[in-house]
Amino acid sequence: MKRLLTAAVLLGLLTACGKEGTPPPKGPQPSALPSYQVRSGDAVTGSATLDAARGRGKLVVGAKEDQPYLGAKDPASGVYSGFDIEIAKMVAADLGFRPDQIDFRTIASANRETALQNGQVDYYVGTYTINDNRKKLVGFAGPYFIAGQSLLVRRDEEDIKGPEDLSGKRVCSAAGSTPYQRIVKDYPKARPVAFDTYSACVDNLIGVQVDAVTTDNTILLGYAAKAPDELKLVGPLFSKEPYGIGVPRSDNALRSAVNDALQRHEQNGDWKRAYDATLGLSGVPAPEPPPIDRY
Ligand code: GLU
């Protein structure tokens, strides 16, 4: 029962049940979110992806749906919210699409490259680390944020204080993710467990089927903030995860336009306003956005 309840809290199912006098649940507050001025739609030329999106009148954006403060889908309304969702919206506005013209589609970590290659999504915004292997398959705009790999354990855990303590421990991460690959490669004595999503890992952590969850600190901070009595982050950050916006590899016009959009919204303050209203709620003040890499 405890496990079920916690899962419900993580999914935000209890947000409507707050009694008078109880503090409001933490989470993106819609009123504080910026809105982005929609620019004229045809400014960007030469992008096959955008031409197709204009033809259908909708932009299809890949995202996560179970990462609090980053990409989270309200189970009742189906509405997506979080920092990644705001990044997707500010970019869409510069490409000529209003928020109601964006169809968000949940794509798990392991399926991002194929989704972009098959044209299932026009672009992807969901804690997606830029690296050379992935660049062989997709294009990346950004980075728009730098995260780092960390560990989430149960509140009462005393043995695991950092990645060096993972020998013999069951360590859960998402299939196809860079943190999963790093555990397999750099911590061969750990016992890696892969699920499609980090929320499945967190359920298994609370249910004592695994000993730790590993992924980006941003993602883990969100789960910890939702269940502070049961979970905690431990240890140093042990990687750099620069977040990019995934685009189809051959669409250089789109990649360049997304970079322009990121740069503009970083400079005009939208980026910081969006951060403060979403990821900032997990307790880390806004850093400076990293320089964009126009490779
Ligand atoms: N940023 C890491 C990655 O892209 C972990 C987060 C995720 O799986 O989305 O693999």
Q: Which of 135, 152, 219 to probe ligand 1 with, by most ligand atoms within 8 A of CB? A: 219
Instruction: Give DSSP secondary structure letters for 34-60.
Output: ---PPPPTTSS-S-HHHHHHHHHT-EE
Distance (angstroms) between ligand 1 centre and the Cα of 176 equals 8
Minimum CA distance residue for ligand 1 atom 5: 177
Which of 114, 3, 130 has the alpha carbon at shortest distance from 62? 114
Residues in the chain, overall count: 295
pTM: 0.91
Return the CATH number of 30-147+242-282, one of 3.40.190.10, 3.30.465.10, 1.10.10.10, 1.10.3720.10: 3.40.190.10
Distance (angstroms) between ligand 1 centre and the Cα of 231 equals 20
Return the CATH number of 149-234, one of 3.40.190.10, 3.40.50.720, 3.30.565.10, 3.40.50.20: 3.40.190.10
**Neighbouring C-beta atoms of residue 79, cutoff 10 Å:** 12
**Neighbouring C-beta atoms of residue 71, cutoff 10 Å:** 28
Sheet holding 123-124, edge to edge: 102-106, 59-63, 123-124, 241-248, 138-147
Q: If DSSP codes are grouped into helix, strand and coil, which group holds residue 180?
A: helix
Which of 245, 269, 251 has the alpha carbon at shortest distance from 44? 251
Q: For ligand 1, what atom is nearest to the CA of residue 198?
A: 8
> What's the pLDDT score for residue 178?
98
Q: What is the full per-residue pLDDT of the chain (295 aa) written as tens digits?
A: 344 444 444 444 333 333 344 455 555 555 578 999 999 878 899 999 999 999 999 999 999 999 999 999 999 999 999 999 999 999 999 999 999 999 999 999 999 999 999 999 999 999 999 999 999 999 999 999 999 999 999 999 999 999 999 999 999 999 999 999 999 999 999 999 999 999 999 999 999 999 999 999 999 999 999 999 999 999 999 999 999 999 999 999 999 999 999 999 999 999 999 999 999 998 899 999 999 999 9
Distance (angstroms) between ligand 1 centre and the Cα of 22 equals 34
Domain ranges, ordered by start, for the chain:
30-147+242-282, 149-234
CA 139 to chain centre: 17
Q: Decide if 30-147+242-282 and 149-234 have a common fold.
A: yes
C-alpha span between 68 and 8 (Å, rounded) = 13
Q: For ligand 1, what atom is nearest to the CA of residue 176?
A: 10
Whether ligand 1 lies within 6 angstroms of the CB of 67 is answered as: no
Whether ligand 1 lies within 6 angstroms of the CB of 97 is answered as: no
Distance (angstroms) between ligand 1 centre and the Cα of 175 equals 9
Distance (angstroms) between ligand 1 centre and the Cα of 198 equals 10
- What is the CB-side half-sphere exposure of residue 228 using CA atoms within 13 A? 5
Q: Which of 134, 151, 178 to probe ligand 1 with, by most ligand atoms within 8 A of CB? A: 178
Peptide bond into 34 cis (omega under 30): no
